[in-house]
Chain A
């Protein structure tokens, strides 16, 4: 049995580097890994004394070390992160990242293809003026549709300034739906829009269908259909929308001060509790509440303005307003400062 001074040697902090040089030489002769695992699964690198501990990776030396006993179990582990650090403010002509972007293993399934970019300099063109090395190698076609969809999702999300976590969740949802293939006939854009809607809902910041429609080329009907199909395909359900979810967004878009926003939130919640608006969509109720609160304060907004922001028709606001008007006095918060008293509120 060949004695391997490196493999099986207990590492100490001081002499890692020199040991690594020795190990590389030794390991060229020795190919026995400390691997355990049944024949069906891939050999998993484990510490022979502590098979259950999770190994710590030392990326500088490329080692996997057992934290219990300090045994170096695997080495020459390749780091798949980005090779150099790149800063966005550096206007370097060449991109120092030779290995490409960090892998996105969750979404792409291991993108190991090589793409050839346009050449510079004279040698890359052959005699007819065409570039010698024809463009980029096609990546796997199944990934291509998904990458297109991710790009579309990112464009849509960018238009309404959605944060990264929602975009990631949308991408994950899209990947799950795409792999299931149950919605294969639907346009990818429709599925992407519906995934975006679901992701916003799941994160607790729902967007109305009309808001998603505004940034997508798909009709509201189609997004609604895809939404229901996706919920069925993934067997999830989402929370119901409430009036409070939209208040901060609508009010800040209208430029209303915090007091008015809080008053509108209170009015809408009270109206729903007292069941003054049965069967009305929460967005219409929210719009009517904003109208009432703004009319009672110094910043009066017209129905048309509120309708534009909320995506609600002004007749709808009028109808919901008529339902909450009779009990307006109870709906306002107790500490609200009235610019226009309750009895002088417009009666539509």
Chain B
């Protein structure tokens, strides 16, 4: 991927739908966002960083991620950079999931003592780390959870594992406003 500031500035002025993620004030410059269309109905938003990482949003599988990365490489190629699609690796997968019930975080934390941790002063979510599949689940009191893991399979397993624990600590409907 591109590794220097001038390259990204060129991308920005190239006429493609690149735009900066925020005011360009940082020393290394700001990462750029690109809207990439994959197929007819699917599209993804890509954030390109100065290092050799880029983030792809709104995708549903690892194959889509690869396709999105290829599309990005094609765009850069058209701009004239020498791009070769070599080592593609999915590093981190972030998934968001919403439970149909609210969750009482205090009960949840007390029941799952050393694995779950909840610091209301630091972050409004309770963090549950599943060591053997290396996934982290963040549980919010509204019932939505975010799961991060190294691949999609781990994330799916994590959701399955955590669902019964969440179900025990759900908020009864009467209390929900």
Contact = CB atoms under 8 A, between A and B. Distances in A.
Interface of A: 208-209, 224, 227-228, 231, 235, 237, 240-241, 274-275, 278-283
Interface stretch (B38-46, B77-85, B113-121): B113-121
18 contacts: A224-B121, A224-B122, A228-B117, A237-B113, A237-B114, A240-B106, A241-B121, A275-B171, A278-B102, A278-B141, A278-B171, A279-B140, A279-B141, A281-B120, A281-B121, A282-B120, A283-B120, A283-B121
Given A274-B175, A279-B140, A279-B141, A237 B117 contact: yes
A240 B124 contact: no
Given A275-B104, A275-B171, A241 B120 contact: yes
A274 B175 CA distance: 7
A278 B142 contact: yes
B124 to A, nearest CB: 5
Pick from B106, B110, B119 the residue with the most CB of A within 10 Å. Answer: B119
B146 interface: no
B109 interface: yes
Interface of B: 102, 104-106, 109-110, 113-114, 117-122, 124, 140-142, 171, 175
B118 to A, nearest CB: 6
A258 B106 CA distance: 28
B102 A240 contact: no
Contact of B110 (A240, A280, A283): A240
B175 A275 contact: yes
Contacts of A240: 106, 109-110, 118
Given A237-B113, A237-B114, A279 B121 contact: no
Nearest to A285: B120
Contact of A279 (B109, B113, B114, B142): B142
B121 to A, nearest CB: 5
A274 B171 CA distance: 11
A282 B117 CA distance: 16
Contacts, number: 40
Given A240-B118, A241-B121, A274-B175, 16 more contacts: A208-B121, A209-B121, A224-B121, A224-B122, A228-B117, A231-B117, A235-B114, A240-B109, A275-B104, A275-B171, A278-B142, A278-B171, A279-B105, A279-B124, A279-B141, A283-B120
Contacts of B113: 237
A209 B114 CA distance: 21
Nearest to A323: B177
Contacts of A228: 117, 119
Closest 10 CB pairs of A and B: A279-B141, A281-B120, A278-B141, A224-B122, A275-B175, A209-B121, A279-B124, A237-B114, A281-B121, A282-B120
A231 to B, nearest CB: 8
A274 B140 CA distance: 18
Nearest to A326: B177
B171 A224 contact: no
Nearest to A277: B141
Nearest to A197: B121
A282 B106 CA distance: 11
Contacts of A280: 120
Contacts of A235: 114
Contacts of A231: 117
Contacts of A283: 120-121
A299 to B, nearest CB: 27
Nearest to B175: A275
B127 to A, nearest CB: 9
Contacts of A278: 102, 141-142, 171
B18 to A, nearest CB: 32
B165 to A, nearest CB: 17
Pick from A274, A275, A280 the residue with the most CB of B within 10 Å. Answer: A275
B122 A209 contact: yes
Contacts of B121: 208-209, 224, 241, 281, 283
A316 to B, nearest CB: 12
Nearest to A280: B120
Pick from B109, B114, B120, B141 the residue with the most CB of A within 10 Å. Answer: B120
A249 B168 CA distance: 35
Contacts of A241: 120-121
A227 B124 CA distance: 16
Contacts of A274: 175
Nearest to B143: A278
Contacts of B119: 224, 227-228
A262 B49 CA distance: 54
Contacts of B175: 274-275
B136 to A, nearest CB: 13
Contacts of B105: 279
